[in-house]
Structure 1
Amino acid sequence: MKLEPIIPFEPVAASEFPKGDQWTAQIKWDGVRILSYFDGERTKLFNRRLNERTLQYPELLQAESYCSADSFILDGEVIAFENGSPSFHEVMKRDSLRSAQRIQEQKGTVPITYMIFDLIYLNGVWVKDKKLRDRQTLLSSIIRPNVQVQVVPSYSDIAGLYRVAEQHRLEGIVIKDLNSTYSIDGKDKRWMKKKNVQDLIAVVGGVTLRDGIVNALLLGLYDDAGRFWYIGHAGSGKLTMNDWRTLTQLITTMTVRSMPFANKPERYKDAIWIEPRLTVKINYMEWTSNKTLRQPTIQAFLDVPPQECTFS
């Protein structure tokens, strides 16, 4: 049977921890959501936006090396480490590659781990309507963990796990109802996320320069009416000097005369306006009363359609 890619179940933001024995929690890894599809002959990988990533992670294509099932759909996150901690910037060094040669070169430089947390399809049968507790039991019975594949552990002490995530500066936790079925293209309170670090994907509408090199990005989001609003500028984060130089070259083909934002940015006079085509993951502390980001930092550029970067 040919397995078509699906849009995965998504958690909603939690304002407080739920109570009850039916809840469990897992670490939220700062990685790339990847679903693995094995039809009995070949493995394919897709992200949550249905973009294929089979080429990018060849370590995961030999299904028999980590799973005993005849066919499956697994849900998890591909992560990479930097100084002992999961790093979105590091994993994007692999996810953004499109050349098979470059991917082979990066396998040793940027090793990845597939952190699996759910099972949707098993041995020719959909198991999405089974309870999470039963899917977890099935998952543990078929996965053979190795250096590059692990099953994400679950914990009943939700508050305790969140404290651990805070102490180790991890992204946060995901809280799940053990009685929940898996809702394809769903998003509801049966799965909730509590983040230690806030993040969003923004669109770049302008830049500023220092000594002829880009040194900050002017960021924006779209509202429901399609208007593009400035939300802050970021110049710190994970980009290297080589990244800034590459960006400086790139924007020469994207500059425009008119400001793309519906409101006036703080750095209006020094800005160079560009077409709002580049998207970037931003970490931040909080929103200010002026609807701008407090302490935004750049994590990585992404291949995400700009119109999907909205306030909602």
Structure 2
Amino acid sequence: MDLKPIIPFEPVRTDKVPAGPNWVSQIKWDGVRMLTYFDGTDTRLWNRRRNDRTQQYPEFLDVRAYCRARSVILDGEMIALDGRKPSFHEIMKRDRLRTESKIAQAVARVPVTYMIFDIVYCDGEWVNGKPLAERQSILERMIVPGDRVQIVPNVADGNALLGVMRSHSMEGIVCKDLTSAYAMDGKDGRWQKLKLFHDLYAVVGGVTFRDKIVNALLLGLYDDDGTFLYIGHAGTGKVTQAEWERLTRLAGQMRVKDRPFRNEFERSKDAVWIRPELVVKVQFLEWTPDGVLRHPSIQSFAEVDNPISVCTFRQS
């Protein structure tokens, strides 16, 4: 594999849909960002943190089946549906797998669609410096849509699209400037995301029990000084009974004597402290004035290489 993984272009958060003739909007998929690298011979899939996910999605390794390019880097989102809408919890059932036999079974059990929205490299040429409109034109010529591969469409009226997302309880939209180049390892206002629900990655520093089973997770984030601070507890969301039982076993193995959070809080008197290693994706309504999450809901467990650098208050 001659092509090396890049850090993809990221949108910044906004509170309103940008106006102007150069702006288009797209659905913000609640999935896993995934870049496909095909050098003409080998195929590799890497996520936004440049972790290899080639093994997890074998149905997308035959790039020639859905792309006409002789070599290519595609940017998009792997999604899995929970009923009729994308679910981060469902895609994690695929993304967390590591054994070949379980992955083979999951291909049929948890079908995945690759929603492609950009192209960075094509036929031996870097195209990231071209305007988005031109890159999308290249993408249209190269991609052969099918049941499991789609090109993400543009919508001119971002407010209308946001209304549709709200009516379907979906995550939000991404607004893009058609004149924008693709800034690798970049993040600026040429791409903007408007989220109907906030989410972040938090570290579990403690648990509480009901009837000897873990029933809530005590969550924390790191500040700029590396101090671990409590931000709230979550006992609802997409956690199965089997996962609560697994957490109960893990809590016994990870238990520590001292509170890992620097700050004190009311719920600490009922807590069992654990090593701050488990990371969860949490959806929430807003921050309270006291710096605590309002109505947090556990979406999934996540693999994070370095929680201290990822699970911070700087997430946006």
TM-score, with structure 2 as normaliser:
0.98
Q: Deviations over 1:252-294 (max 9, x none)?
A: 2211100010111331111000110010000000000110000
Distance of 2:155 and 2:274 partners within structure 1: 46
How many residue pairs match? The answer is 312
CA contact (8 A) 1:69 1:123 kept: yes
Distance of 1:259 and 1:306 partners within structure 2: 18
In structure 2, what is the equivalent of residue 243 of structure 1? Answer: 243
1:26 is displaced (CA, Å) by 0.2
Distance of 2:171 and 2:102 partners within structure 1: 29
Residues 1:306 and 2:302 are matched in the alignment: no
Query: Within 5 A, what are the aligned runs for 1:29-48?
Result: 29-48=29-48
In structure 1, what is the equivalent of residue 272 of structure 2? Answer: 272
Q: Alignment partner of 1:239: what SS?
A: coil
Distance of 1:251 and 1:56 partners within structure 2: 28
Please tell me the residue identity of whatever aligns with 2:255: T
In structure 2, what is the equivalent of residue 225 of structure 1? Answer: 225
Distance of 1:252 and 1:52 partners within structure 2: 31
Residues 1:207 and 2:207 are matched in the alignment: yes
Residues 1:58 and 2:43 are matched in the alignment: no
Query: Within 5 A, what are the aligned runs for 1:140-289?
Result: 140-289=140-289
Distance of 1:166 and 1:134 partners within structure 2: 30
1:2 is displaced (CA, Å) by 0.3
CA contact (8 A) 1:197 1:285 kept: yes
Residues 1:87 and 2:71 are matched in the alignment: no
Please tell me the residue identity of whatever aligns with 1:306: P
1:306 is displaced (CA, Å) by 1.4
Please tell me the residue identity of whatever aligns with 2:195: K
Distance of 1:84 and 1:160 partners within structure 2: 20
Q: Alignment partner of 1:3: what SS?
A: coil
* Alignment root-mean-square deviation, CA: 0.7
Please tell me the residue identity of whatever aligns with 2:243: D
Distance of 2:206 and 2:39 partners within structure 1: 45
1:15 is displaced (CA, Å) by 2.1
Residues 1:20 and 2:24 are matched in the alignment: no
Q: Alignment partner of 2:269: what SS?
A: coil
- 4+ residue runs over 2 A deviation: none
Structure 1, unaligned runs of 5 or more = none
Q: Alignment partner of 1:44: what SS?
A: strand
Distance of 1:131 and 1:287 partners within structure 2: 37
Distance of 1:257 and 1:98 partners within structure 2: 32
Q: Alignment partner of 2:268: what SS?
A: coil
Distance of 1:62 and 1:6 partners within structure 2: 21
1:93 is displaced (CA, Å) by 0.3
CA contact (8 A) 1:232 1:265 kept: no
Q: Deviations over 1:223-259 (max 9, x none)?
A: 0000011000000000000010011111222111000
In structure 2, what is the equivalent of residue 49 of structure 1? Answer: 49
In structure 1, what is the equivalent of residue 119 of structure 2? Answer: 119
Distance of 1:243 and 1:259 partners within structure 2: 24
Q: Alignment partner of 2:205: what SS?
A: strand
TM-score, with structure 1 as normaliser:
0.99
